[in-house]
């Protein structure tokens, strides 16, 4: 039902959760490589609510929330990296190490990250290196208020 409610291939589902309650809460998190706005969320919400009502009857009691991932949420889909080229990321790797740096590019197999390291109380930027998607456990945009 959710896939049929999307306006086109530019939007994709990041997460879908349904709470286990008397009045279930359905939470849909969408994203796009180009970004999107409240109008697209409202459109998907109306379409999905109509499909749920058709399938389960208008008496079905639920709460529906359609939203985008928060700025502090980790990426869960490779397509989420696209619109963040040029931004600073915090990347946790499968081996437990962490890297911070500017994502300079995306390739089919991973991201090019120019890692920032501290060296004698100074920041040094290493040349961009490929980090395969398979090695990434979690990646988030670093939010700066400077």
| Domain of residue 39, CATH code | 3.30.70
Tokens of 90: 């915090």
Number of domains in the chain: 2
> Is the distance from CB of 45 to CB of 53 less than 8 angstroms?
no
**Whether residue 57 sits in one domain with residue 11:** yes
Contacts of 134 (CB under 8 A, 6+ apart): 94, 110
Q: Residue 64, class by beta-carbon neighbours within 10 Å (0-12 exposed, 13-18 middle, 19+ buried)?
A: middle
The string of DSSP letters for 28-81 reads EEEEESS---HHHHHHHHHHHHHHHHHHH-TT---EEEEE---TTSPP-SGGGG
CATH code, 109:
2.30.30.100
> Is the distance from CB of 109 to CB of 130 less than 8 angstroms?
yes
Q: Which domain holds residue 124?
A: 78-141
Neighbours of 5 (CB within 10 A): 21
**Whether residue 61 sits in one domain with residue 37:** yes
Length of the chain measured in residues: 146
User: End of a domain among 27, 48, 67?
Assistant: 67
Is residue 72 assigned to a domain? Answer: no
pTM: 0.77
Phi/psi at 39 (5° precision) = -65, -40
From first to last of the 146 residues of the chain, give the pLDDT tens digit.
Answer: 999 999 988 999 999 999 988 899 999 999 998 888 899 999 999 999 999 999 998 888 999 999 998 878 899 899 999 989 999 999 999 999 999 999 999 999 999 999 999 888 888 889 999 999 999 999 999 988 77
């Amino acid at each position: 039902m959710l896939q049929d409610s999307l306006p086109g291939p530019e939007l994709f589902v990041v997460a879908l959760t349904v709470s286990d309650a008397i009045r279930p809460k359905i939470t849909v998190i969408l994203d796009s490589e180009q970004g999107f706005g409240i109008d697209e969320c409202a459109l998907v919400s109306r379409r999905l609510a109509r499909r749920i009502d058709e399938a389960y009857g208008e008496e079905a009691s639920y709460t529906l929330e359609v939203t985008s991932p928060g700025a502090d949420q980790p990426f869960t889909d490779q397509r989420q990296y696209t619109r963040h080229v040029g931004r600073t990321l915090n990347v946790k790797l499968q081996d437990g190490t962490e890297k911070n740096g500017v994502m300079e590019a995306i390739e089919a197999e991973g991201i090019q990250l120019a890692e920032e390291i501290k060296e004698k109380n100074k920041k040094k930027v290493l040349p961009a290196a490929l980090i395969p998607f398979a090695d990434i456990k979690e990646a988030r945009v670093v939010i700066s208020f400077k």
